[in-house]
């Protein structure tokens, strides 16, 4: 009936920030890449963690030497790597839940499948926990 959990939540006026045990998709504003992730906690908490790490990088001058240095570093989140290495901006407003799954192993598999299905390209460092 609904193409993703975010659409269903909008129809039923559910707060996405409170939904837990899900697979999510966060796009970049400057390119077609997305980050596919999963969390057993609430989507809102996980989003705030991603945003906090990106915000901690604000104010750094984006220069050739900074870009070269950032390519040899790996942050906690591939989203932060995208911001640092490509000087891109994350489209937080278009982030959405694409699947719900209470079983952790099944959620990992669903995340890996969604990464493989993403035709635009992903920021993720690997194909999910099963790789």
Work out the average pLDDT over 18-34: 94
How far is CA 2 from each of CA 6, 11, 66, 72, 86, rounded to the nearest angstrom? 9, 10, 43, 41, 34
Mean pLDDT of 6-15: 52
Q: Which of 4-8, 67-71, 103-107 is least confident? A: 4-8
Cα of 102 vs its chain's centroid, Å:
19
Helix H or strand E encompassing 24: strand 20-27
DSSP secondary structure string for all residues of 41-72: EEHHHHHHHHHHHHHTTTT----HHHHHHHHH
Average pLDDT over residues 62-80: 73
Distance CA 122, CA 116 (A): 9
How would residue 48 be classed by pLDDT, with cut points 50, 70 and 90?
very high
The model's pTM: 0.77
Average pLDDT, the chain: 82
* Between 69 and 9, residue with greater pLDDT: 69
What's the pLDDT band for 97 if we cut at 50, 70, 90?
very high
Cβ atoms of residues 90 and 115 within 8 Å: no
Which pLDDT belongs to residue 128? 59
Q: CA gyration radius for the chain?
A: 15
Question: Which candidate, 44, 51, 36, places its Cα nearest to that of 19?
Answer: 44
Say how far apart CA 83 and CA 128 lie, in whole Å.
Answer: 20
pLDDT at residue 62, as a whole number:
64
pLDDT band at 19 (very low <50, low <70, confident <90, very high): very high
Q: Where are the domains of the chain?
A: 5-117
Q: What's the pLDDT band for 11 if we cut at 50, 70, 90? A: very low
Are 46 and 24 in contact by the 8 Å Cβ rule? The answer is yes
């Amino acid at each position: 009936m609904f193409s993703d959990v975010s659409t269903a939540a909008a129809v039923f006026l559910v707060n996405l920030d409170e939904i837990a045990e899900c697979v999510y998709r966060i796009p970049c504003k400057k390119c077609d890449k997305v980050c596919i992730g999963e969390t057993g906690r609430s989507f809102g908490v996980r989003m705030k963690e991603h945003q906090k790490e990106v915000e901690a990088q604000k104010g750094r001058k984006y220069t050739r030497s900074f870009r070269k240095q950032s390519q040899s570093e790996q942050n906690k989140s591939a989203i932060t790597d995208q911001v640092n290495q490509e000087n891109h901006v994350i489209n937080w407003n278009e982030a959405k839940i694409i699947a719900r799954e209470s079983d952790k192993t099944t959620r990992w598999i669903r995340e890996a499948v969604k990464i493989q299905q993403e035709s635009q390209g992903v920021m993720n460092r690997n194909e999910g926990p099963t790789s």
